[in-house]
């Protein structure tokens, strides 16, 4: 198979992955505290075997024994990562809506274990426990946070301390991760640290809680649409390259076959 066919195929596949990522970002533009995904490319270099033969034998002949070393750069999809930049705050006026400003996460408890999230759209269940939109318990420093149903005034300060009618009922468990590149999305706007990684939870250094606000997704629609157009054009280019290579191969096979006959 021609080298151009392989390059075009990998290029088309890489842009297909990028298109799926862009589509997912756009689909979550209205998801509270959603963090967009980004892809990165790097150049891989192809060496020929003779590039490692440095003995030109100038004392024996006036020309180099081997051709000059050539390096061919080939872009490859190298990484897909989550962009954890701060999203804009949206006012809701709901005292149970909380937004995080800075680096850090809430901790919530699910049937499958404890996970991290930045989605602060909370509510109370029938037992007075603070839960997420999916029904997961929001954890405080002493376990799930509970607010008396009869409480008329619920306040949360910048450090995450929760008061009900001026009585402290708990403190939100806020955590950060020393290497966010090792955070994995598991759905429902939840994150977990890669079990096979080396990242660890750390106390947040510059993090505050804003009551009555929600963090919006950090997705810029215009930027994503421009990236989508660029990705479509690149995919079309690679597809045409594959078609052109296939046509050249067919012509070559046909002509060689006629000559040999």
Residues 167 and 153 in one domain: yes
Question: What are 115-137's pLDDT values in tens digits?
Answer: 999 999 999 998 999 999 999 99
Within-domain flag for 39 = no
Look at residue 94 and tell me if it is in a domain. Answer: yes
Answer yes or no: is 8 within a domain. Answer: yes
Does residue 37 form part of some domain? no
Pair 97, 123: CB distance under 8 Å:
no
Contact 245, 138 (CB under 8 A): no
Q: pTM value?
A: 0.77
Eight-class DSSP state of 233: H
Out of 156-160, 170-174, 242-246, 249-253, least confident range: 249-253
Residue 236 counted as domain residue: yes
Residue 43 lies in a domain: no
Residue 16's domain spans which residues?
Answer: 1-29+221-261
Q: Are strands 190-193 and 183-187 parallel, antiparallel or unpaired?
A: antiparallel
Q: With 0-12 CB in 10 A as exposed, 13-18 as middle and 19+ as buried, what is 198? A: exposed
Number of domains in the chain: 2
Q: Does one domain contain both 165 and 259?
A: no
Does residue 148 lie within any of the structural domains?
Answer: yes
Q: pLDDT of 183-202, one tens digit each?
A: 999 999 999 999 998 999 99
Same domain, 19 and 127: no
Strands 201-202 and 174-177 turn out to be antiparallel
Q: How far apart are CA 220 and CA 185, in angstroms?
A: 20
Last residue in a domain, options 199, 215, 231: 215
Residue 177 covered by a domain:
yes
Mean confidence (pLDDT) of the chain: 85
């Amino acid at each position: 198979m021609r080298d151009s066919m392989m390059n075009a195929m990998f290029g088309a596949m890489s842009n297909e992955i990028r298109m799926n990522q862009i589509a997912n970002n756009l689909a979550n533009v209205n998801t509270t505290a959603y963090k967009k995904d980004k892809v990165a490319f790097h150049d891989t270099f192809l060496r020929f075997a003779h590039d490692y033969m440095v003995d030109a034998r100038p004392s024996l002949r006036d020309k180099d024994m081997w051709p000059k070393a050539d390096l061919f750069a080939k872009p490859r999809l190298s990484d897909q990562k989550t962009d954890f930049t701060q999203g804009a705050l949206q006012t809701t006026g709901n005292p149970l809506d909380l937004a995080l400003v800075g680096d850090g996460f809430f901790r919530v408890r699910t049937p499958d274990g404890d996970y991290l999230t930045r989605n602060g759209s909370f509510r109370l269940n029938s037992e007075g426990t603070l839960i997420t939109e999916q029904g997961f318990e929001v954890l405080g420093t002493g376990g799930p946070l509970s607010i008396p149903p009869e409480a008329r005034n619920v306040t949360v300060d910048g450090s995450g301390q929760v008061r009900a009618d001026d009585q402290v009922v708990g403190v939100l468990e806020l955590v950060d991760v020393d290497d966010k590149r090792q955070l994995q999305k598991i759905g429902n706007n939840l994150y977990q640290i890669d079990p096979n990684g080396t990242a660890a939870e750390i106390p947040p250094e510059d993090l505050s809680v804003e009551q009555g606000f929600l963090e919006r997704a950090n997705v810029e629609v215009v930027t994503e649409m421009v990236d989508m157009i660029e990705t479509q054009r690149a995919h079309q280019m690679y597809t045409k390259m594959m078609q052109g290579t296939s046509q050249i191969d067919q012509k070559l096979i046909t002509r060689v076959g006629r000559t040999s006959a």
